[in-house]
């Protein structure tokens, strides 16, 4: 029997592929109910889709056991133990345990009204706590924090985003794009405080305010911490599998025990853990082939991140830092901003703000890594942008 632990996007995809190949598979997940589209949680928070729209169908041939945590892996007997005491035997075990959100260990971090942003349950708790005109604070101005802020603002809350560094989404954006995004959020009523060091959450049983190191007190009925994630590797580590930041795997997604595979955010391939759903799906497909006895090989490719915060389209892919790269910039103060990073006449990173229709075209150029040659002169004007300008 193939057993997949974790019914997030990676585990669900892998179980589906194994079932489609005609092999028996059991999918065990500790969240209740049917698997759902985690990426679409922000749209649910912002009332753009219903909860039902997020639910994913599983093939009838997948045995799904929701609301059950796996508590131990016994490699000597090839069995696992569940939290209800049951024992299941496996021939192949696939770990897809994902990540847990990091909680800053500050005073007040466990008060009611202090939430993470990871699961359907987190979003349901945010929706239950959201009151029009009530103050909310989001700690973290990365991709997730901004999506949470936009969703709470869409529910009428007065939202302040606290970000510890000097610009939003510093892993994806440069200063110019981050400043434009900040202006856009301000126009939507979201307040941003950069270089903000939150030191405590105040309140008796419920959160009431966030205190900053400089003494500022920000009222907050709801506090969302979106400060990063940590791969869930405890099961694997306790079973004696090789781990570093994640569970170490080879290109076929095999861990240090060839009967056990790992995929998605819990896996570490060639020193890197993925943090996006697209590469997690590729890993899931590779693991399904490996589990079914077919050769398969995972090749990492450049990450990309698309985000639409309250109507501001932003897209970035590949490298962000400018060191030893040459930037090409298109800066239309009222419209698009584009920064393209080149090394040795190849595109290695792209950042688009305001007009992102050319994203797939730039992604292909990054992945192909071919010399740009004559294309270089017109590179900031992708086909969609050029077409749109010509039509004006």
- For ligand FAD, the closer of residues 38 and 254 by Cβ is 38
Half-sphere exposure of 196 (CA within 13 A, CB side): 24
Neighbours of 363 (CB within 10 A): 19
In angstroms, give the least distance from the CB of 242 to ligand FAD: 18
CA distance 137 to 155: 14
Report the first-to-last Cα separation within the chain, whole angstroms: 60
CA distance 384 to 124: 39
Report the interface residues with ligand FAD, using CB under 6 A: 5-11, 28-31, 38-39, 41-42, 69-70, 96-99, 117-118, 144, 147, 232, 235, 264-265, 275-278, 280
23 closest CA partner among 5, 41, 39, 1: 1
In angstroms, give the least distance from the CB of 129 to ligand FAD: 16
Beta-bridge partner residues of 307 = 314
- For ligand FAD, the closer of residues 39 and 242 by Cβ is 39
In angstroms, give the least distance from the CB of 239 to ligand FAD: 11
**What are the backbone dihedrals phi and psi of residue 382, each rounded to the nearest 5 degrees, phi first?**
-70, 175
- For ligand FAD, the closer of residues 147 and 268 by Cβ is 147
72 closest CA partner among 85, 56, 57: 85
**Token representation of residue 74:** 């016994």
In angstroms, give the least distance from the CB of 40 to ligand FAD: 8
CA distance 322 to 174: 9
CB contact set of 75 (below 8 Å; sequence gap of 6+):
239, 240, 257, 259, 260
Bridge-based pairing state of the strands 99-101 and 158-162 = unpaired
In angstroms, give the least distance from the CB of 219 to ligand FAD: 25
277 closest CA partner among 268, 288, 264: 264
In angstroms, give the least distance from the CB of 323 to ligand FAD: 26
Cα Rg of the chain, angstroms:
22
- For ligand FAD, the closer of residues 144 and 239 by Cβ is 144
DSSP string, 49-82: S-TGGGBPP--TTEEEETT--EEEEETTTTEEEE
Handedness of CA 181, 182, 188, 192 (dihedral sign): positive
In angstroms, give the least distance from the CB of 100 to ligand FAD: 8
Helix (H) or strand (E) holding 125: helix 120-129
**Token representation of residue 72:** 């131990």
In angstroms, give the least distance from the CB of 232 to ligand FAD: 5
In angstroms, give the least distance from the CB of 316 to ligand FAD: 12
Q: Is 24 left (phi over 0), alpha (psi -120 to 50) or beta?
A: beta
């Amino acid at each position: 029997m193939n057993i997949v632990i974790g019914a997030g996007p990676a585990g669900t995809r892998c179980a589906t592929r194994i079932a489609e190949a005609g092999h028996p598979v059991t999918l065990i997940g500790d969240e209740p109910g049917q698997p759902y589209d985690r990426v679409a949680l922000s749209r649910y928070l912002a009332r753009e889709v219903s909860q039902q729209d997020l639910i994913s169908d599983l093939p009838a041939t997948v045995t799904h056991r929701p609301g059950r945590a796996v508590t131990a892996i016994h490699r000597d007997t090839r069995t696992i133990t569940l939290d209800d005491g049951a024992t299941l035997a496996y021939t192949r075990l696939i770990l897809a345990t994902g990540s847990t959100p990091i909680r800053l260990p500050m005073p007040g971090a466990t008060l009611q009204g202090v939430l993470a942003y990871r699961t359907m349950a987190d979003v349901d708790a945010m929706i239950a706590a959201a009151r029009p005109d009530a103050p909310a604070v989001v700690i973290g101005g990365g991709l997730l924090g901004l999506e949470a802020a936009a969703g709470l603002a869409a529910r009428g809350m007065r939202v302040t985003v606290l970000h510890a560094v000097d610009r939003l989404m510093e892993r994806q954006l440069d200063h110019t794009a981050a400043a434009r995004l900040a202006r856009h959020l301000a126009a939507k009523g979201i307040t941003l405080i950069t270089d903000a060091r939150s030191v405590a959450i105040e309140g008796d049983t419920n959160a009431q305010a966030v205190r900053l190191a400089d003494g500022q007190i920000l009222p907050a009925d709801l506090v969302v911490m979106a400060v990063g994630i940590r791969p869930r590797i405890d099961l694997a580590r306790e079973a004696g599998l090789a781990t570093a930041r994640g569970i170490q795997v080879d290109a076929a997604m095999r861990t240090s025990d060839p009967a056990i595979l790992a995929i998605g955010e819990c896996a570490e391939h060639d020193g890197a853990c993925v943090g996006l759903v697209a590469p997690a799906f590729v890993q899931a497909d590779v693991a399904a082939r490996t589990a079914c006895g077919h050769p398969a090989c995972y090749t990492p490719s450049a990450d990309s991140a698309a985000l639409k915060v309250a109507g501001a389209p932003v897209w970035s892919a590949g490298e962000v830092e400018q060191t030893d790269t040459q930037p090409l910039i298109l800066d239309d103060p009222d419209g698009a901003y584009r920064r393209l990073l080149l090394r040795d006449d190849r595109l290695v990173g792209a950042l688009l703000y305001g007009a992102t229709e050319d994203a797939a075209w730039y992604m292909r150029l990054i992945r192909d890594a071919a010399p740009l040659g004559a294309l270089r002169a017109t590179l900031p004007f992708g086909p969609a942008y050029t077409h749109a300008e010509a039509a004006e």
